[in-house]
């Protein structure tokens, strides 16, 4: 009985659930702030039978996924602290399902280490007391990789369907995944049509199509408001505008339209910084903000495209800075950094160099990498590449840490069978799971 409990992830990681709840309780602000206000406002809108206000003053700043989760709690007037405690549950579930996914393709010991690394990951704990989407998204990503792994390893089509449903809801929560769906679906359809081993690409296409179907009601709704197909939201234009900034000492991070330079970090706000922001952007932003929200999005995108065309090398530098912020939380425009940057550099460096090693090993042995891992790497790679083209922060990377840990676990488990060669001597597109891992596929139930 005791041995069985020590192998049960729901029991093993239960102490973290209580710890996460403690982190939320002692750190939760008494009032809503930042993006919390917007998510709660959207939940109130849904309760009253609509999502965005009617044109011309639409509001599609983010997708409806997270507000849908909040609706039942807001409807019965649950205090915000108790709603935020759900983040503890989400993070706990993210750890459990990462373990269950890793256990399917590695061993108990390696899966345990991967899950523990996610459990103690500092960046995730930093956002637990905030009513943001990151904890929920991390849980959904872990659930996605679990369903993908079960669907492939046990050849159960219902889990492929579940993976598609989860990916669709991730897209409604983080609308950048809408573009990830389109790009990955186009790539997988191309492979399905023109590669010899077509069956190899069938499951990814199924998952992506199901995910896209999940988003269709929302896309129909946005089309009714904007008249534009595949319109995921109206926040991308302003983000791309700031990311494309051609000015010195501006690194692609977001600034509010009033140009007060009060974004993170808020240390050492100076009149000089505010004056520079206003000098560089005040005229353009005032002109754009005279239009309605949909037109603002269009105009910000047009100005961003002009910036990119006229200053392509500065755009590439800002793209580099965005990846630096995702990894190291540095640099920020017109801001000094505090001592916390040291911890960010250490953690970000570990992720960076582990990923570089993983890329090299995976590239040299691509034909030996199993199907579910390839699919998750495709999603993650496209997502991170697109995130770098917008104002990016550590939380953009943090939600994909479960995939990175699964990837590292898989490579470590199979390091003895991975060859440092440029070709597969067997000439295979894919390889049997048990042959590759050297471990028996776990037969535990799917739930």
Range of the domain at 205: 2-174+176-232+339-420
Q: Which residues contact 360 (CB under 8 A, 6 or more apart)?
A: none
Section 252-263 average pLDDT: 75
Section 395-419 average pLDDT: 88
- 292 within a domain of the structure (yes/no): yes
- 426 within a domain of the structure (yes/no): no
Q: pLDDT at position 261, please?
A: 55
Last residue of a domain, one of 301, 328, 355: 328
Tens-place pLDDT, residues 280-303: 999 999 999 999 999 999 999 999
- 442 within a domain of the structure (yes/no): no
Q: Are residues 278 and 413 in the same domain?
A: no
Contact 169, 216 (CB under 8 A): no
Q: pLDDT at position 439, please?
A: 40
Q: Are residues 134 and 216 in the same domain?
A: yes
Q: Are residues 147 and 85 in the same domain?
A: yes
Q: Which residues contact 50 (CB under 8 A, 6 or more apart)?
A: none
The number of helix segments (H) and strand segments (E) in the chain equals 22, 0
Q: Are residues 259 and 298 in the same domain?
A: yes
Q: Are residues 167 and 39 in the same domain?
A: yes
pLDDT at 181 over 70: yes
* Structure confidence at residue 3 as a pLDDT band (50, 70, 90): low
- 437 within a domain of the structure (yes/no): no
Q: Are residues 204 and 240 in the same domain?
A: no
* Structure confidence at residue 438 as a pLDDT band (50, 70, 90): very low
Q: pLDDT at position 423, please?
A: 34
Q: Which residues contact 384 (CB under 8 A, 6 or more apart)?
A: 323, 326, 396, 397, 400
Q: Are residues 182 and 158 in the same domain?
A: yes
Question: What's the half-sphere exposure (Cβ side, CA atoms, 13 Å) at 171?
Answer: 29
How many C-beta atoms surround the C-beta of residue 405 within 10 A?
Answer: 25
Alpha-helical (H) ranges within 76-201 are 80-84, 86-105, 108-119, 122-126, 134-153, 157-173, 176-194
pLDDT at 100 over 50: yes
How many C-beta atoms surround the C-beta of residue 189 within 10 A?
Answer: 15
Cα distance between residue 247 and residue 261, in whole Å: 15
Contact 293, 236 (CB under 8 A): no
Q: Are residues 55 and 148 in the same domain?
A: yes
pLDDT at 269 over 70: no
Cα distance between residue 324 and residue 400, in whole Å: 16
- 345 within a domain of the structure (yes/no): yes
* Structure confidence at residue 435 as a pLDDT band (50, 70, 90): very low
Tens-place pLDDT, residues 49-78: 999 999 999 999 999 999 999 999 999 999
> Which candidate, 148, 141, 129, 28, places its Cα nearest to that of 95?
141
Q: pLDDT at position 299, please?
A: 96
Q: pLDDT at position 295, please?
A: 95
Last residue of a domain, one of 263, 294, 328: 328
Tens-place pLDDT, residues 77-89: 999 999 999 999 9
- 439 within a domain of the structure (yes/no): no
pLDDT at 392 over 80: yes
Q: pLDDT at position 338, please?
A: 72
Q: Are residues 317 and 344 in the same domain?
A: no
Q: pLDDT at position 394, please?
A: 94
CA 404, chain centre distance (Å):
12
Q: pLDDT at position 358, please?
A: 95
Section 219-228 average pLDDT: 96
Question: Which of 189-198, 207-216, 429-438 is the most confident on average?
Answer: 207-216
For the chain, give the mean pLDDT: 88
Cα distance between residue 284 and residue 230, in whole Å: 27
Domain count along the chain: 2
Q: Are residues 136 and 253 in the same domain?
A: no
DSSP code for 197: -
Q: Are residues 180 and 280 in the same domain?
A: no
Tens-place pLDDT, residues 415-428: 765 554 433 333 33
Q: Are residues 241 and 264 in the same domain?
A: yes
| Beta strands per DSSP E along 30-77 | none
DSSP string, 375-441: HHHHHHHHHHHHHTTS---HHHHHTTHHHHHHHHHHHHHTTTT----SS-TT--SS--HHHHHSSPP
- 401 within a domain of the structure (yes/no): yes
Contact 402, 142 (CB under 8 A): yes
| 261/166: higher pLDDT | 166
Q: Which two tokens stand for residue 405?
A: 């840990």
pLDDT at 98 over 90: yes
Q: Which two tokens stand for residue 301?
A: 């995108």
Distances (CA, A) of 316 to 13, 323, 331: 42, 11, 15
Reduce the DSSP state of residue 16 to 3 states and report it: helix
Q: Which two tokens stand for residue 88?
A: 């503890």
The radius of gyration computed from the CA coordinates of the chain, to the nearest angstrom, equals 22
* Structure confidence at residue 270 as a pLDDT band (50, 70, 90): low
- 369 within a domain of the structure (yes/no): yes
Tens-place pLDDT, residues 313-328: 999 999 999 999 999 9
User: pTM (2 decimals)?
Assistant: 0.91
Q: pLDDT at position 1, please?
A: 64
């Amino acid at each position: 009985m005791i041995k069985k409990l020590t192998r049960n992830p729901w029991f093993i990681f239960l102490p973290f659930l209580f710890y996460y709840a403690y982190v939320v309780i002692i750190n939760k602000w008494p009032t809503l702030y930042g993006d919390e206000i917007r998510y709660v406002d959207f939940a109130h809108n849904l309760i009253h039978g609509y999502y965005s206000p009617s044109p011309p003053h639409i509001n599609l700043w983010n997708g409806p996924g997270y507000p849908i989760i909040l609706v039942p709690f807001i409807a019965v007037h649950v205090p915000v602290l108790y709603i935020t405690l759900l983040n503890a549950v989400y993070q706990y579930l993210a750890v459990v399902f990462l373990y269950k996914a890793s256990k399917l393709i590695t061993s108990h010991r390696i899966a345990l280490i991967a899950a523990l690394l996610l459990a103690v990951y500092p960046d995730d704990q930093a956002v637990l007391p905030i009513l943001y989407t990151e904890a929920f998204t991390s849980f959904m990503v872990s659930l996605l990789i679990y369903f993908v792994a079960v669907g492939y390893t046990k050849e159960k089509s219902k889990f492929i369907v579940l993976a598609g449903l989860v990916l669709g809801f991730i897209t409604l929560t983080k609308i950048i995944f809408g573009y990830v769906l389109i790009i990955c679906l186009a790539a997988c359809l191309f492979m399905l049509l023109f590669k010899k081993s077509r069956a190899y690409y069938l499951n990814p296409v199924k998952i992506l199509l199901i995910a896209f179907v999940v988003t269709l009601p929302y896309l129909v709704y946005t089309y009714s408001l904007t008249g534009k197909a595949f319109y995921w939201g109206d926040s991308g234009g302003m983000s791309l505008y700031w990311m494309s900034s051609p000015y010195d000492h501006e690194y692609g991070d977001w600034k509010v339209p009033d140009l007060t330079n009060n974004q993170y970090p808020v240390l050492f706000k100076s009149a000089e910084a505010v004056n520079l922001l206003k000098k560089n952007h005040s005229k353009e932003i005032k002109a754009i903000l005279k239009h309605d929200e949909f037109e603002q999005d269009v105009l910000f995108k047009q100005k961003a495209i002009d910036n990119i065309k006229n200053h392509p090398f500065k755009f590439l530098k800002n793209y580099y800075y965005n990846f630096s912020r995702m990894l190291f939380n540095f640099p920020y425009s017109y801001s000094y950094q505090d001592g916390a940057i040291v911890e960010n550099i250490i953690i970000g460096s570990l992720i960076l160099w582990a990923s570089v090693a993983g890329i090299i090993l995976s590239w040299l042995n691509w034909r030996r990498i199993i199907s579910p891992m390839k699919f998750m790497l495709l999603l993650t790679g496209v997502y991170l590449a697109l995130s770098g083209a917008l104002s990016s922060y550590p939380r953009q990377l943090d939600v994909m840490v479960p995939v990175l840990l699964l990837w590292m676990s898989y490579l470590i488990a199979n390091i003895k069978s991975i060859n440092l060669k440029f070709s597969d001597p067997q000439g295979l597109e894919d390889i049997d799971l048990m042959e590759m891992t050297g471990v028996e596929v776990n037969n535990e139930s799917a739930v």
